[in-house]
Amino acid sequence: MTSERIDRAPFGKMPEGAVVERITLRGAGGFAANIIPFGAAIQSLLVPDRNGHCDDIVLGHDDFDGYLGQRKYFGATVGRYANRIAGARFTLDGAPYNLEANNGPNALHGGAQGFDRKLWQIVEVSEAPEPMLVLSHLSPDGDQGYPGNLTVRLVYRITGPAELSLSMEAATDRPTIVNLTNHSFFNLDGARAGTPILDQRLTIAADHFLAVDATAIPLLGPPRSVDGTSFDFRKPTVIGERIRKNEEQLRLGRGYDHNYCLSSERGVRFAARVEAPRSGRVMELFTDQPGVQFYSGNFLDGNTAGKGELLYRQSDALCLEPHAWPDSPNRPDFPSVRLDPGQTYRHTSVYRFSVA
């Protein structure tokens, strides 16, 4: 299927032989999102700069073997539980559930075979009324230790000239926990620019963040005010301005790797904005989720070759992951991530691009 707004082409093969396609959804002015069903991932995102030149702004790989061979979450859909669960365990209705400890003592991003390692099913590809891709995945009861058969439906849509919307829904046949997100690594100067994101300006619409321990689990007690700290991004702030300050939370995360607590307002609302002075690109994130994890690419260590055979190094990109607060299953004082039969988990996030 090829048209002015949609394209489908083979991208690679799974080890058992299944073909992995790459689906292109196009907006205006060269704006385009390339999605692969392996990990339901954004493989590339072409965005015009202030001169109208389009460049790919998400880290990843040029071929499928890169995604299959290394687990770096580039552009992937993460679940069943994005972020960390302390001690790789939780209790639900009095029953204990043990997960895989794949991040020190904690469970991270759904386990070793989380949603980012699954080949999702292509349900629908259409160009009217707007370019759209629908993917689905069934996570069986006990998958990675989580209870319940969980059915997930994900929709990528071009909802404006340079706007990509992501909607997720999930249903279960047993009480369970759900927390999904997209894990794209953004560099608004380009995925092949070879320049860090430290000179880009960030705004996060949050008065509080979750301070963490040495294993990145939120500390007990209420969220911490950003006031007077290096975590205050309520006004546009250069990312590198305070990242090397001698503050405990920056030392523990080797930079920023913290959940920001968004307003309790319901519905999709403004969460964050990134501005790149060099390219002029601007990205705004809107979401209905209670938090957003800001990660400054601290553990990109030069051991991963990405697009154009570029070695990805520290702060070559940033992540803004909208989702529930980390370790919520073990924290009754946090917004709930419980999903019961008959209920529907919903997540909507919108990435809107412009130039300045």
Q: Round the average pLDDT of the chain to a whole number and report it.
A: 97
Answer yes or no: is pLDDT of 4 > 90: no
140/350 Cα distance (integer angstroms)? 29
What pLDDT does 1 receive? 62
> Residue 156: which domain range?
6-355
- 119 lies in some domain: yes
25-57 pLDDT, tens digit each: 999 999 999 999 999 999 999 999 999 999 999
pLDDT value for 70: 87
Q: Is residue 160 part of a domain?
A: yes
Rounded to whole angstroms, the Cα distance separating 98 from 329 reads 12
Please tell me whether the overall predicted TM-score, pTM, comes out greater than 0.95 for this model. yes
| Secondary structure string (H, E, C) spanning the chain | CECCCEEEEEEEECCCCCEEEEEEEECCCCCEEEEECECCEEEEEEEECCCCCEEECECCCCCHHHHHHCCCCCCEEECCECCEEHHHEEEECCEEEECCCCECCEEECCCCCCHHHCECEEEEEECCCCCEEEEEEEECCCHHHCCCCEEEEEEEEEEECCEEEEEEEEEECCCEECECEEECCECCCCCCCCCCCCCCEEEECCCEECCECCCCCECCCCCEECCCCCCCCCCCEEHHHCCCCCCHHHHHHCCCEEEEECCCCCCCEEEEEEECCCCCEEEEEEECCCEEEEECCCCCCCCEECHHHCEECCCCCEEEEEECCCCHHHCCCCCCCEECCCCCEEEEEEEEEEEC
Task: Give me the mean pLDDT over the 188-212 stretch.
Answer: 97
Q: Is residue 201 part of a domain?
A: yes
Residue 279 included in any domain: yes
> Of 221, 237, 219, 355, which is closest to residue 294 (Cα–Cα)?
237
| Tally of domains within the chain | 1
How many angstroms separate the first and last alpha carbons of the chain? Answer: 35
- Rounded CA-CA distance 81/225 in Å is 26
pLDDT given at position 35: 98
**CATH number of the structural domain spanning residue 72:** 2.70.98.10
Residue 178 placed within a domain: yes
In this structure, is residue 264 part of a structural domain? yes
pLDDT digits (tens, 9 = 90+) for 174-194: 999 999 999 999 999 999 998
pLDDT of residue 350: 98
> Tens digit of pLDDT for each residue in 274-319?
999 999 999 999 999 999 999 999 999 999 999 999 999 999 999 9
Q: Does any domain span residue 1?
A: no
CA dist 93 and 73 (Å) reads 31
65-124 pLDDT per residue, tens: 999 998 999 999 999 999 999 999 999 999 999 999 999 999 999 999 999 999 999 999
Report if residue 127 sits inside a domain.
yes
Query: What residues act catalytically?
Result: 183, 321
Name the pLDDT band for 3 (thresholds 50, 70, 90).
confident
Asked if residues 164 and 340 have their Cβ atoms less than 8 Å apart, the reply is no
pLDDT at 78: 98
Give 137-160 pLDDT, tens digit per residue: 999 999 999 999 999 999 999 999
